[in-house]
Amino acid sequence: MKIATVYIEVHLIRENNGKIEFLLLKRASYEKFPDIWQMVSGKIKSDETAIEATLREIKEETNLIPEKLWVLPRVNSFYLAEDDSINLVPVFVAKVDNKSIVKISDEHSEFSWVDGKEAKRLLAWSGQRTSIDLISEYFDYSKRSFLYLTEINL
């Protein structure tokens, strides 16, 4: 068994009427994990960093360009039987302009902007739902959060 870090997850958010919304993408029926809702995700190519992969995957899957990018203080993980590996997945948060137009790739069949409660209902894995909680806590301006996100200079 090996331990690998070859995937990224990035939660795209926007502010709409003072509230945070999450962009979820529904995987196409012919893809691995068909018809599940997820955030932007993908593989890190051998010649790129996790941050470079994050920006590339955002562009490829949504045609969006983030205004801001943060590292969420969380690493998700999963086991992949195909190569007997445990995969550690860095998690990012990207904020886009609320007027941005989403254009999904053929990996997905539809998209939806949803609040945190709906995002948690739709996401398949507990690690992804926990990430929604952390992001919601950080961006809840009515409370003082002690969570600190490292911002990446774009």
Q: Residues 114-144, buried b or exposed e (16+ Cβ, 10 A)?
A: bebebbbebbeeebbebbbebbbebbeeeee
The confidence score (pLDDT) of residue 50 equals 97
The confidence score (pLDDT) of residue 130 equals 96
- In CATH, 2-152 is 3.90.79.10: yes
Alpha helices by DSSP H, listed for 70-125, are 116-122
pLDDT over threshold 80, residue 142: no
Residue 53 to residue 107: CA distance in whole angstroms: 16
Q: What angle (nearest 5°) sits at the alpha carbon of residue 62, between those of residues 20 and 140?
A: 10
Residue spans of the domains in the chain: they are 2-152
Beta strands 7-16; 85-95: pairing state: parallel
Average pLDDT over residues 84-110: 96
Closest CA to 54 of 67, 38, 43: 43
Residue 42 to residue 57: CA distance in whole angstroms: 6
pTM (2 decimals)? 0.92
pLDDT over threshold 70, residue 146: no
- CA dihedral of residues 145, 150, 153, 154 (deg, nearest 10): -80
Least confident piece of the model among 79-83, 96-100, 145-149: 145-149
pLDDT over threshold 90, residue 53: yes
For the chain, give the mean pLDDT: 93
